[in-house]
Amino acid sequence: MSASGSRGPESPPVSRPGEQGPLLPLATPQVVVFDLDYTLLRPSDLFEAPGYVRTGERFGLALDAACWPQAERAAFEAVAARREETGLVHDDHLLEVIARAIIDGLGGGPRGAVELTARAVISAWSSAENFGLYDDVLPCLEAINAAGLRMALLSNALGHGVEEIVAHFALDDYMAAAVSSLETGAVKPAPRMFSTLFGLLGVAPEEAVMVGDSLEEDVDGAVACGCPAILLDRSGRRRDVVVPRIETLAELPAALGLHV
Ligand SMILES: [Mg+2]
C-alpha cells in the first residue's frame, strides 16, 4: 500500500545525505505544512511485502515477496489510470485499486481469496493502530515549534482521517490547522487543497513551505500554487530531481534557515 507517493528509478547520488544542496536553505517561512503518509506517518510492515504475504496466508494465498518491485510498479500504474479516469478528487476506491494491484502483482490466486486479502489490507490501512511516527518527527516538530513557526497538515486522507491521526499521536499541540481531501473533495496536487489550507491559516502561499514525500502531489502541487516546497526523499531514490530535497526530517530546521 505504498503507491500514493511518486517514486522513480534508482539513480547515482549527486549529493550525500545530510549535505545541503545549492537549493537550500529556503527563506524561513511563517508556516511549515506537512504531508502525512510516508512523511510523518510510517505505515507498519502490513503494507509492505512481508505483511501482504502474511495476510494472504490467512486466506490461503501463497504470495511471492520477491515480486514486490513489480507489484509496487503495477500499483502506481493502476493509481495513475484511476486518477486519469476520476480527475483529482477524493476517492476511497483507490485503496482497493492499490491492494488488488499489489496482491495480483505478488502472484494473486483464486478470486475469493484475493478479495478477502484485499479487504483485510484495506481494513488495516483504516486503523491508526497500524501506523507510527518516524523517529525524526517529534524532534523536528519540537525544533520548529521552539523557533516560533506555525505548522499544519495537508493530507490526501485515504482510510485513516487526519483528525483521527492527530488525536492518536497527540499532534494537536503542534498543528495550527489540518486539511484533508475528505473535507475538500479534492486531492493534492489540486490547487483547492492548498488554497483551503492557506485560507484557514490566513497566509499567502509564498509565506508557507510544503514538506512531503511525493514529488507530484506535495512538491509540484505546492510550487504550482506559488508555495515553496521541500521533497522528503527518505529512500534517497530521488537524488536525480532538481528540487529542494532532504532525506530525513532532522535536516528540515536547517533547510528552513533555522539555527537550532
Ligand atoms: Mg505522503
Span from the CA of 7 to the centroid of ligand 1 (angstroms): 11
How many domains does the structure of the chain reveal?
A: 2
Confidence at residue 6, expressed as pLDDT on a 0 to 100 scale:
40
User: What grid cell was written down for 247?
Assistant: 532525506
Mean per-residue pLDDT of the chain: 92
Span from the CA of 39 to the centroid of ligand 1 (angstroms): 5
- With bands split at pLDDT 50, 70 and 90, how would you rate the model's confidence at 19? low
Looking at the fold, whether 36 and 152 belong to one and the same domain comes out as yes
Are the C-beta atoms of residues 42 and 133 closer than 8 Å to each other? yes
- Domain boundary (103, 129, 155) is at 129
Looking at the fold, whether 151 and 187 belong to one and the same domain comes out as yes
The answer on pLDDT for 18 being more than 80 is: no
Confidence at residue 259, expressed as pLDDT on a 0 to 100 scale:
85
pTM (two decimals): 0.90
Confidence at residue 161, expressed as pLDDT on a 0 to 100 scale:
87
- With bands split at pLDDT 50, 70 and 90, how would you rate the model's confidence at 1? low
Q: Each residue of 223-245: pLDDT tens digit?
A: 999 999 999 999 999 999 999 99
Residue 226's domain comprises 31-40+134-255
User: What grid cell was written down for 61?
Assistant: 494465498
Percent of the chain with pLDDT over 70: 92
Looking at the fold, whether 227 and 161 belong to one and the same domain comes out as yes
What is the average pLDDT across 191-218?
Answer: 98
Q: Is residue 225 part of a domain?
A: yes
- With bands split at pLDDT 50, 70 and 90, how would you rate the model's confidence at 129? very high
Span from the CA of 258 to the centroid of ligand 1 (angstroms): 24
Neighbours of 14 (CB within 10 A): 12
Q: Which residues surround ligand 1, an ion (CB under 5 A)?
A: 5, 35, 37-38, 213
Span from the CA of 33 to the centroid of ligand 1 (angstroms): 12
Looking at the fold, whether 36 and 158 belong to one and the same domain comes out as yes
Span from the CA of 165 to the centroid of ligand 1 (angstroms): 14
- With bands split at pLDDT 50, 70 and 90, how would you rate the model's confidence at 11? very low
* Dist CA 111 CA 230 (whole Å): 42
What is the average pLDDT across 239-252?
Answer: 96
Span from the CA of 2 to the centroid of ligand 1 (angstroms): 9
Residues 6+ apart with CB under 8 A from 32: 144, 149, 150, 151, 152, 208, 209, 211, 252, 256
Q: Each residue of 150-188: pLDDT tens digit?
A: 999 999 988 888 999 999 999 999 999 999 999 999 999
Q: Each residue of 39-78: pLDDT tens digit?
A: 999 999 999 999 999 999 999 999 999 999 999 999 999 9
Span from the CA of 149 to the centroid of ligand 1 (angstroms): 22
The answer on pLDDT for 212 being more than 90 is: yes
The answer on pLDDT for 149 being more than 80 is: yes
Looking at the fold, whether 36 and 159 belong to one and the same domain comes out as yes
Span from the CA of 61 to the centroid of ligand 1 (angstroms): 29
Looking at the fold, whether 139 and 251 belong to one and the same domain comes out as yes
**Tell me, what CATH number does 183's domain have?**
3.40.50.1000
Percent of the chain with pLDDT over 90: 88
The answer on pLDDT for 203 being more than 50 is: yes
What is the average pLDDT across 212-232?
Answer: 98
DSSP string, the chain: --TTS--------SS-TT---TT-SPPP-SEEEE--BTTTEEE-GGGSHHHHHHHHHHTT----GGGHHHHHHHHHHHHHHHHHHH-SB--THHHHHHHHHHHHHTT---HHHHHHHHHHHHHHHT-GGGEEE-TTHHHHHHHHHHTT-EEEEEE---SS-HHHHHHHTT-TTTEEEEEEHHHHSB-TTSHHHHHHHHHHHT--GGGEEEEES-IIIIIIHHHHTT--EEEE-TTSTTTTS-S-EESSGGGHHHHTT---
Span from the CA of 22 to the centroid of ligand 1 (angstroms): 24
Q: Is residue 7 part of a domain?
A: no
- Name the pairing type of β-strands 41-43 and 131-133: antiparallel
